Amino acid sequence: MGYEYILVEKKESVGLITLNRPKALNALCAGLIDDLGRALDDMEADDDIGAVVLTGSEKAFAAGADIKEMSEKDFMDVYLQDFITKGWERITTCRKPIIAAVAGYALGGGCEVAMMCDFIIAGENAKFGQPEITIGTIPGSGGTQRLTRFVGKSKAMEMCLTGRLMDAEEAERSGLVSRIVPNDELLSDALKTAQQIAGLSRPIVLMAKECVNRSYETTLSEGVRYERRVFHSTFATEDQKEGMAAFAEKRQPKWKNR
Ligand code: CO8
């Protein structure tokens, strides 16, 4: 089955998903979320893909959930459908690393989707925000939780209570994005970074991702214990042997992904 609202490509060992609903600034309608989930399923199952880049257009990564689609829903509609969280959470269950390459607006659900990815690289015109309060609702897919963990209570509270947007400079200063690049280099930079990750040992990359994510779910001592167990388990892999042997022999490792 094809896709209506996204473009899907394979660039070497990287899966590239481009949100493609330009007339609505990539507003996240149900069909788009469905497309995104299916693309991630396919990329997860594709052994040739080691990392994913999710991007939008230069004007908008995504301007939020589709307000026109949502506006007529009542409580029972959204409650019984578990609107819209069920589909979006597919991003958070993807085991392969996902980089969000964000230019332009990442608002509401768009900001939430970017924050569900493993890290965000921002174009210099990127703008982040949770403006739901200005249309009579609140973030519904982790915005109040993830934004607070990224930027701290004071900034998150101000943004959620007033709808104030954060530009790329402030987002980098606050830890929301890993770095800023010129807009015309955003995609190539994100693809290069993803390719670098895809060129490493697949199981070790998955383990590292699992451990960093664990830090959001548990206490420091439990997290450190978890990390140690996973660290020990890297010694059961062929790639740990290969990586360390290659270092000692001053050559590039040949990963077996085992
Ligand atoms: N939903 C639907 N359509 C949108 C959306 C949106 N979120 N954003 C933009 N559009 C449409 C506009 O209606 C317009 O369409 P048309 O040409 O048919 O009138 C087109 O995109 C272009 O938009 P603008 O003309 O407004 O473009 P501007 O450059 O003037 O403004 C803005 C850009 C500032 C981004 C502006 O479009 C805007 O404010 N958009 C809405 C931002 C917003 O409030 N986002 C939050 C949405 S709510 C949300 O995400 C809740 C998440 C909860 C998750 C629930 C899960 C359980």
pLDDT at 181 over 80: yes
pLDDT of residue 1: 77
Q: Show which residues are catalytic.
A: 65, 109, 112, 132
Residues 1 and 136: their CA atoms lie apart, in Å, by 36
Model confidence over 58-90: pLDDT tens digits? 999 999 999 999 999 999 999 998 887 767 889
Residue with the nearest Cα to atom 11 of ligand 1? 24
pLDDT of residue 84: 74
Which residues form ligand 1's pocket by a CB distance below 6 Å? 24-25, 27, 63-68, 83-85, 105, 107-109, 131-132, 135, 139-141
Mean pLDDT value across residues 151-166: 98
* DSSP for 19-43, written as a single string: E--GGGTT-B-HHHHHHHHHHHHHH
Q: Give the atom of ligand 1 at the shortest distance from the alpha carbon of 66.
A: 1
Token pair 């949502």 is found at: 70
Residue with the nearest Cα to atom 36 of ligand 1? 63
Ligand 1 centroid distance, CA of 108 (Å):
9
For the chain, the domains span 6-198, 201-249
Structure tokens at 116: 């569900």
Q: What value of ipTM does the predicted structure carry?
A: 0.96
Q: Give the atom of ligand 1 at the shortest distance from the alpha carbon of 78.
A: 57
Structure tokens at 38: 């299916």
Cβ atoms < 10 Å from Cβ of 214: 16
Q: What is the mean pLDDT of the chain?
A: 96
Tell me 119's DSSP state. E
Ligand 1 centroid distance, CA of 17 (Å):
21
Model confidence over 13-27: pLDDT tens digits? 999 999 999 999 999
Cβ atoms < 10 Å from Cβ of 161: 11
Residue with the nearest Cα to atom 27 of ligand 1? 25
Residue with the nearest Cα to atom 3 of ligand 1? 24
Q: Specify whether the CB–CB gap between 96 and 203 falls below 8 A.
A: no
pLDDT of residue 81: 85
> Residue 132's closest CA among 177, 97, 162?
162
Superfamily of domain 6-198: 2-enoyl-CoA Hydratase; Chain A, domain 1 (3.90.226.10)
The CA-atom distances, in angstroms, between 123 and each of 20, 51, 72, 120, 191 are: 18, 20, 34, 10, 14
Q: Name 60's bridge partners.
A: 105
Ligand 1 centroid distance, CA of 20 (Å):
14
pLDDT at 187 over 90: yes
Model confidence over 201-224: pLDDT tens digits? 999 999 999 999 999 899 999 999
Model confidence over 234-245: pLDDT tens digits? 999 999 999 999
User: What's the CATH number for 201-249?
Assistant: 1.10.12.10
Cβ atoms < 10 Å from Cβ of 233: 13
Q: Specify whether the CB–CB gap between 26 and 61 falls below 8 A.
A: yes
Residue 64's region, left for phi above 0, alpha for psi from -120 to 50, else beta, is left
Q: What are phi and psi of 225, to 5 degrees?
A: -65, -45
Q: Please give the order of strands across the beta sheet that includes 179-181.
A: 6-11, 14-19, 51-55, 98-102, 119-123, 179-181
Ligand 1 centroid distance, CA of 112 (Å):
15
Ligand 1 centroid distance, CA of 59 (Å):
12
For 56-200, strand residue ranges (E) read: 60-62, 98-102, 105-107, 119-123, 127-129, 166-167, 179-181
Residue with the nearest Cα to atom 39 of ligand 1? 63
> Which of 20, 61, 67 has most ligand 1 atoms within 8 Å of CB, for mutation?
67
Model confidence over 37-59: pLDDT tens digits? 999 999 999 999 999 999 999 99
